[in-house]
Amino acid sequence: MPFRHANRAHDLATRIEHEIRERLEEAIDFVCLDAVVRGRQARGLPPPAANSAADRAEYTQQVLAFLRLLDAKIAPAERARPDTSEEQSRLLAGQVVRARTLPDYWQRFETVSARFLAEPPPSGGERRGVLARLFGRG
C-alpha cells in the first residue's frame, strides 16, 4: 500500500512509523467497534449511531480499555515513552514501538483482541465509549 501522507519528504523510518500507526489504528478501530456492537447486542440495545455523543464516548472507553490490555499483555521491546500526558496517545505510541520491534506482534495482537472481545462487558456502563474516529472520518 502506498504512503498516504501528502508530505513525502519524511525519511524512511518516519514513513514506516506512519504506516504502522495507521495499520494499528485501523485494527484497534475494528476490534473496539466490534466490542461496542457485541456489548449492545448482549444488552438488547440498538447499534451505535454516528451522531450520538454517548456512543462516541462508549467507543472511546473501549479504545482505552483495549489499549490498556494490549499494554499489559504485549511486553514492550523497549521502554520508549513519548512526552505526553494523554493516556490514549501514550498507549498507542507504545504499541507502535512494539509493532515495529516484536516479530510476533500481530499474532499477539490477534490473541489479545480475541480475549478482549470474548470478555463480557462490565456492568454499569464502564465500557461506554465513542465511535469518534470512525464517524469522524469523512
Closest CA to 128 of 69, 52, 25: 52
pLDDT for residue 123: 56
Q: Which residues of the chain have pLDDT under 70?
A: 1-10, 76-85, 121-138
Cβ(95)–Cβ(70) below 8 Å: yes
d(CA 19, CA 102): 16
Residue-level pLDDT at 107: 94
CB–CB of 15/3 below 8 Å? yes
pTM of the model: 0.63
pLDDT, tens digit (0-9, with 9 covering 90-100), for 46-72: 999 989 999 999 999 999 999 999 988
Q: Which three cell numbers stand for residue 131?
A: 465511535
- Distance CA(38)–CA(36), nearest Å, equals 6
Enter the C-alpha cell of residue 102.
516484536
Residue 36: per-residue pLDDT:
93
Give residue limits of the domains in the chain: 12-136
